Chains A and B, each alone.
Chain A
Amino acid sequence: AQSVAQPEDQVNVAEGNPLTVKCTYSVSGNPYLFWYVQYPNRGLQFLLKYITGDNLVKGSYGFEAEFNKSQTSFHLKKPSALVSDSALYFCAVRDPNRDDKIIFGKGTRLHILP
């Protein structure tokens, strides 16, 4: 069965510093991987995805993520954090051979300190 792990409940980063939010996954085949962001009292918003091709994918708001097949990881990154990036971030995986489920990690709360 597919699964996603986000090992950090919370990440604190100073404004202007680079940020990384970690995600590892387990899936039987080649995964489809996603990052979503949730602001307070809102639904989740899609940030970026990896389906195939270049291991570095770019998404909304200056975020990017690197797919590493050997480490089964898909870490979210941003070169320079903004206070407005503070939110809850979710990694998700879909097994394309089993289109039925999209499984989310527990989420990582990102705090950008001014």
Chain B
Amino acid sequence: DSGVTQTPKHLITATGQRVTLRCSPRSGDLSVYWYQQSLDQGLQFLIHYYNGEERAKGNILERFSAQQFPDLHSELNLSSLELGDSALYFCASSVRAGGNTGELFFGEGSRLTVL
């Protein structure tokens, strides 16, 4: 158990809809990363938050947005969903206040299926 919790584990929805994926990082971790994993694209970096502030954006679509709340949990919002958004979305946390050892701790992922 990595200590990172993601909900929901599975989500099936229709094109055009909006969903919210939630991530609770390991206790004490300040950084949250979001990744999208699909068969043909591998693991794509979406966005990184540190202590509530956005630190970096990767290949994140404008239809997608994220935020990190004061309690350090994070949400990834996906809107106007398309078939191609079907993927496994991972959250990972890192960076405790005492120091950054670099490695990420991943949740089990949220599998999104868009029909």
Query: Which A residues contact B (CB, under 8 angstroms)?
Result: 32, 34, 36, 42-46, 49, 51, 90, 92, 94, 98-107
14 new A-B pairs (CB below 8 Å) besides A43-B109, A46-B103, A99-B55?
A: A32-B102, A43-B107, A43-B108, A45-B2, A49-B103, A94-B102, A99-B100, A100-B55, A101-B45, A101-B56, A104-B35, A104-B42, A106-B42, A107-B43
Does A34 contact B2, Cβ atoms closer than 8 Å?
A: no
- Contact residues of A: prevailing secondary structure: strand
A-B interface, 10 closest residue pairs, ranked by CB to CB distance from nearest: A100-B56, A106-B42, A43-B106, A104-B43, A46-B103, A44-B106, A100-B55, A43-B108, A101-B56, A32-B102
Instruction: List chain A residues, Cβ under 8 A from B22.
Output: none
Does A43 contact B42, Cβ atoms closer than 8 Å?
A: no
Instruction: List chain A residues, Cβ under 8 A from B45.
Output: 101-104
CB distance from B112 to the nearest CB of A (A): 14
A46 touches which one: B48, B90, B105, B109 (CB < 8 A)? B105
Instruction: List chain A residues, Cβ under 8 A from B107.
Output: 43
Instruction: List chain B residues, Cβ under 8 A from A49.
Output: 101-103
Number of B interface residues, CB 8 Å? 24
A42 CA to B56 CA, complexed, in Å = 25
With both beta carbons as reference points, the residue of chain B lying nearest to A98 in the complex is identified as B56
Q: What 0/1 pattern do residues 17 to 55 of B give for CB contact below 8 A with A?
A: 000000000000000010100000111010010000001
Query: Which B residues contact A (CB, under 8 angstroms)?
Result: 2, 4, 33, 35, 41-43, 45, 48, 55-56, 58, 90, 92, 100-109
A94 CA to B31 CA, complexed, in Å = 14
Instruction: List chain B residues, Cβ under 8 A from A34.
Output: 102-104
Does A43 contact B43, Cβ atoms closer than 8 Å?
A: no
Instruction: List chain A residues, Cβ under 8 A from B102.
Output: 32, 34, 49, 51, 94
